[in-house]
Structure 1
Amino acid sequence: MEHESPPSQEVSGKALEATLLSALKMLDVGKWPIFSLCSQEELKLIRQACVFGSAGNEVLYATENDEVFVLGMNCSGCLGTGDMQSTIEPRRLDSLCGKKIACLSYGSGPHVVLATEEGEVYTWGHNAYSQLGNGTTNHGFIPCQVSTNLVNKKVIEVACGSHHSMVLTSDGEVYTWGYNNSGQVGSGSTANQPIPRRVTSCLQNKIVVNIACGQMCSMAVVENGEVYVWGYNGNGQLGLGSSGNQPTPCRIAALQGIRVQRVACGYAHTLVLTDEGQIYAWGANSYGQLEPDDHLTVAQSLKKEFDNPETADLKFLVDGKYIHVHKVLLKIRCEHFRSVLNNDDEVIEMSEFSYPVYRAFLEYLYTDNIRLPPEDAIGLLDLATLYGENRLKKLCQQTIKQGICEENAIALLSAAVKYEAQDLEEFCFRFCINHLTVVTQTQGFAEMDHDLLKNFISKASRVGAFRN
């Protein structure tokens, strides 16, 4: 196969730990966007579900009779359907049907590692660095069992880094394989590891009870509460007090005397939970992902002052009303205002948007949250698009989704198209398809823009909405 460059330590996608949700009778999975086109009869049969992928666009679920289905995007074959075709209709994974699923993890390569209740391990997806553990670098398009060095072993937990994999057995042993440029498989070298091998060194005579992977690092908690770490450490995510990589497991000395129960990893930071219910965090903190009380972001540090105009040094004049704001906040938090503000400004007159929209925008800059009704979020979405505030744009889309109904679905779809809000557009489209009979009888549908209507009918036809 063609050689692939190793993933960048700076920009490769983060490894996301996917959580399998059971007892879904307590949840209305029909409200999850990815399930919006499934019938009520199909939804009632779901017993377990796991939404995974960097954007949550893939789902694997098991039914009451242990049939396993997938749907969604299919990057690098991560759905395991045998091809690269994405699907909005559930497709059955015959190789997993009849298996009771215990846990699943997703690496951003992307690849998937799954364990059954009987302790068998199955992998599929991207495999350029042998992260599937089958001894090759061929991508896997269907789930295949990993048996090398795991025969007679019962796997009870799985974890994925971006391009490496790790499992924990019932007898407390840890096995790793895959990409190893920073020592993340714990072998003592930086050579990629094509098959599962037990991590020994300091763990040789230890019983491990919990594992986790960061992007390119690995963690293990042993039965006495000690934490051992290895792999990439450029952001201090190993908690060793340095930034050098660690090719073999090393105990975190700073946790001496603290009994840890569980460890969890983000892209480049780590958290542990102690037996006393305390949480310790270390590593990267560029987004305030560590303890917020001690490591405040600009927005958090100014939050208390939002309703205290005496401390502000700038005014927005909108619709004849003044909004007080810190000039430094605008310069740091919003690219749009860096070119607008100068040292002499005391009042900025704004006229493009309403007072409630601007106030909601400024509150977002102070607090990282928005508080306004779904119907008013369209104006804020317009502002976010104009000012290039992508995170705010995502929050607006989430708020708008909460207010969708048959009467306004077309209007919201139109707004999503206008402001290039692709996630909202797809959500609205699926809602319309799911409520097609009622939606097509609304005034909004009758007044629908010609080009939008044409595209809607074409797309609806492609997904089989008009089949008898």
Structure 2
Amino acid sequence: MPRISMVVQNQVHMEAESPVSHGVTAKVIQATFLSALKMLDVGKWPIFALCSQEELKLIRQACVFGSAGNEVLYATENNEVFVLGTNCSGCLGTGDVQSTIEPRRLDTLCGKKIACLSYGSGPHVVVATAEGEVYTWGHNAYSQLGNGTTNHGLVPCQVSTNLVNKKVTEVACGSHHSMVLTSDGEVYAWGYNNSGQVGSGSTANQPIPRRVTGCLQNKIAVNIACGQMCSMAVVENGEVYVWGYNGNGQLGLGSSGNQPTPCRIAALQGIRVQRVACGYAHTLVLTDEGQLYAWGANSYGQLGTGNKSNQSYPAPVIVEKDRCEHFRSILNNNDDEIIEMSEFSYQVYRAFLEYLYTDSINLPPEDAIGLLDLATLYRENRLKKLCQQTIKQGICEENAIALLSAAVKYEAQDLEEFCFRFCINHLTVVTQTPGFAEMDHDLLKNFISKASRVGAFKN
């Protein structure tokens, strides 16, 4: 069984309420790709469309962010850092608010290795380097940049107050607040605090980083996450602590009251959580046994509980067991065969990820062939069926032979029969296309033999 040769640090936050109107941190699509050339051809991403091949070959790491994924920060092999995109309210950090389709260099971050990035809908950006330094820029009306002021920041500036001699390993943003995790397991937060999201015990905004204490005082945190106006941390024994806004039950405490200081989720007693992730108003956790639990807003079915009712307590996510075991077997496989992700376009890669979460695909018929290839490599039969249905919708005389060839190559029998019948019904036109003239010899031989058997050449 093949496996993907791709190391991806991927944080995808899906908004719980309106996918269009809110524009909060929960909507950021952030992906950091290491050794990009071997793993993913970023040249297929629309945001890099105007970059030259020479520039693309130098990209080592890319972070796509923004309310619609229209901004990108990337690092080259020699650790130069560039940005491009729409620059909403200065979120590119270029010193102005001008959007750019040409890469612009961020001198402040050049020479530093970017470890992680998070985006808040203000908008503001928080970055941590491999050395553990923190840089922020963007909107700052609520002191979410952590510099003690409410002045907007148009260029990256290091946040040092209370973080001196601390190595930050993880960052997270709410809509207007920020949070970081240090290598020694401490959590620091700052910014907007109308619902207690910085965990200080009050609702006063926090202009500089302050350590979140209370129930976390003697705990070692290993993971953090922010919703729109709430915050969460997983500690080393697998407990989850939450604080902030709770109007949709996103804290998992069984109530809808706000929480100004960290509180352990009692309903997860005896369950060891490894990771937590927040949407706009809902939360998911992954346990050490591979189980998913979700709670909070559910008007779009984002909790995966089988209904659309909000959930104030953690509820297990319904996952098809066979499919779960199928992908588990892929991850645990030690076969040396490798699927090179550079073989597939951005559209195919994105469609595959969407399928994993939604059980459906939405892409043009011409891109479905690449997805059919990927589905075949993963032996994902249900996805193959969906691809075949999509491809059928795009068949015409000009591409019928190419689709037939693809169907044979990927052992898609239903599609193969469909394409064959289409070719027979349009035989005169199909045989005059370039595709027919360039048809593989063995495939042509089999096509003629099968066409003869169904009487295609009778007078």
**TM-score computed with the length of structure 1 as normaliser:** 0.62
C-alpha spacing 1:448/1:137, structure 2 compared with 1 (3 Å): farther
C-alpha spacing 1:12/1:208, structure 2 compared with 1 (3 Å): closer
What displacement does 1:426 show? 37
Indicate the structure whose relative CO is greater, using CA pairs within 8 Å and at least 6 residues apart: 2
C-alpha spacing 1:413/1:161, structure 2 compared with 1 (3 Å): farther
What displacement does 1:20 show? 5.8
- Look up the SS of the partner of 2:107 in the other structure: coil
The answer (yes or no) to whether the contact 2:398–2:435 under 8 Å persists in 1 is yes
The answer (yes or no) to whether the contact 1:440–1:446 under 8 Å persists in 2 is yes
The answer (yes or no) to whether the contact 2:15–2:280 under 8 Å persists in 1 is no
C-alpha spacing 1:356/1:281, structure 2 compared with 1 (3 Å): closer
What displacement does 1:90 show? 0.4
What displacement does 1:268 show? 0.7
- Measure the CA separation in 2 of the matches of 1:139 and 1:359: 34
What displacement does 1:398 show? 16
The answer (yes or no) to whether the contact 1:110–1:126 under 8 Å persists in 2 is yes
Q: Tell me whether 16-25 or 129-138 shows the greater mean CA deviation.
A: 16-25
The answer (yes or no) to whether the contact 1:45–1:64 under 8 Å persists in 2 is yes
C-alpha spacing 1:190/1:94, structure 2 compared with 1 (3 Å): same
- Look up the SS of the partner of 1:467 in the other structure: coil
What displacement does 1:335 show? 39
- Measure the CA separation in 2 of the matches of 1:109 and 1:420: 50
What displacement does 1:417 show? 37
- Look up the SS of the partner of 2:109 in the other structure: coil
C-alpha spacing 1:222/1:404, structure 2 compared with 1 (3 Å): farther
Identity rate, percent: 92
C-alpha spacing 1:53/1:102, structure 2 compared with 1 (3 Å): same
Q: 1:133-173 CA deviation, whole Å, 9 max, x = no partner?
A: 00111110000000000001000000000110000000100
- Look up the SS of the partner of 1:392 in the other structure: helix
The answer (yes or no) to whether the contact 1:188–1:247 under 8 Å persists in 2 is yes
- Look up the SS of the partner of 1:66 in the other structure: coil
Summarize the alignment of residues 368-387 of structure 1 with structure 2, pairs less than 5 Å apart.
Answer: 369=360, 373-374=364-365
C-alpha spacing 1:462/1:44, structure 2 compared with 1 (3 Å): farther
What displacement does 1:367 show? 9.0
- Look up the SS of the partner of 1:95 in the other structure: helix
Aligned to 2:418: 427
Q: Are 1:440 and 2:453 an aligned pair?
A: no
Q: 1:269-309 CA deviation, whole Å, 9 max, x = no partner?
A: 1111111111111111111111xxxxxxxxxxxxxxxxxxx
What displacement does 1:54 show? 1.1
- Measure the CA separation in 2 of the matches of 1:461 and 1:134: 78
- Measure the CA separation in 1 of the matches of 2:188 and 2:31: 19
- Measure the CA separation in 2 of the matches of 1:100 and 1:168: 18
Q: Tell me whether 112-121 or 353-362 shows the greater mean CA deviation.
A: 353-362
C-alpha spacing 1:38/1:383, structure 2 compared with 1 (3 Å): closer
The answer (yes or no) to whether the contact 1:334–1:389 under 8 Å persists in 2 is no
Structure 1: stretches of 5+ with no match in the other structure? 291-327
The answer (yes or no) to whether the contact 1:37–1:430 under 8 Å persists in 2 is no
- Measure the CA separation in 2 of the matches of 1:345 and 1:26: 16
Q: Tell me whether 379-388 or 56-65 shows the greater mean CA deviation.
A: 379-388
Q: Tell me whether 197-206 or 351-360 shows the greater mean CA deviation.
A: 351-360
- Measure the CA separation in 2 of the matches of 1:409 and 1:44: 35
C-alpha spacing 1:378/1:165, structure 2 compared with 1 (3 Å): same
- Look up the SS of the partner of 1:99 in the other structure: coil
Q: 1:167-204 CA deviation, whole Å, 9 max, x = no partner?
A: 00001000000010110000000111010000000000
The answer (yes or no) to whether the contact 1:230–1:238 under 8 Å persists in 2 is yes
- Measure the CA separation in 2 of the matches of 1:391 and 1:242: 39
Aligned to 1:116: 129
Provide the aligned length of Structure 1 versus Structure 2.
431
Q: Tell me whether 274-283 or 355-364 shows the greater mean CA deviation.
A: 355-364
Q: Tell me whether 208-217 or 11-20 shows the greater mean CA deviation.
A: 11-20
What displacement does 1:374 show? 3.8
Aligned to 1:331: 321
C-alpha spacing 1:161/1:463, structure 2 compared with 1 (3 Å): farther
What displacement does 1:38 show? 0.5
- Look up the SS of the partner of 2:319 in the other structure: helix
What displacement does 1:364 show? 14
The answer (yes or no) to whether the contact 2:24–2:121 under 8 Å persists in 1 is no
Which one of 55, 73, 81 corresponds to residue 68 of structure 1?
81
- Look up the SS of the partner of 2:340 in the other structure: strand
- Measure the CA separation in 2 of the matches of 1:84 and 1:249: 37
- Measure the CA separation in 2 of the matches of 1:39 and 1:452: 39
What displacement does 1:362 show? 23
Q: Which runs of 4+ in 1 moved over 2 A?
A: 1-25, 328-468
What displacement does 1:340 show? 48
The answer (yes or no) to whether the contact 2:16–2:300 under 8 Å persists in 1 is no
The answer (yes or no) to whether the contact 2:189–2:198 under 8 Å persists in 1 is yes
- Look up the SS of the partner of 2:96 in the other structure: coil
Q: 1:37-74 CA deviation, whole Å, 9 max, x = no partner?
A: 11111000000001111111000000000000000110
C-alpha spacing 1:402/1:70, structure 2 compared with 1 (3 Å): farther
What displacement does 1:25 show? 3.0
- Measure the CA separation in 2 of the matches of 1:233 and 1:260: 20
- Measure the CA separation in 2 of the matches of 1:86 and 1:463: 61
Q: Tell me whether 220-229 or 23-32 shows the greater mean CA deviation.
A: 23-32
C-alpha spacing 1:27/1:360, structure 2 compared with 1 (3 Å): closer
- Measure the CA separation in 2 of the matches of 1:209 and 1:343: 28
The answer (yes or no) to whether the contact 1:261–1:274 under 8 Å persists in 2 is yes
Q: Are 1:389 and 2:408 an aligned pair?
A: no
Aligned CA RMSD, in angstroms, stands at 15.1
The answer (yes or no) to whether the contact 1:270–1:281 under 8 Å persists in 2 is yes
- Measure the CA separation in 2 of the matches of 1:423 and 1:163: 52
Aligned to 1:19: 32
- Measure the CA separation in 2 of the matches of 1:39 and 1:371: 29
The answer (yes or no) to whether the contact 1:335–1:387 under 8 Å persists in 2 is no
What displacement does 1:334 show? 33
C-alpha spacing 1:195/1:365, structure 2 compared with 1 (3 Å): closer
- Measure the CA separation in 2 of the matches of 1:29 and 1:114: 21
What displacement does 1:35 show? 0.4
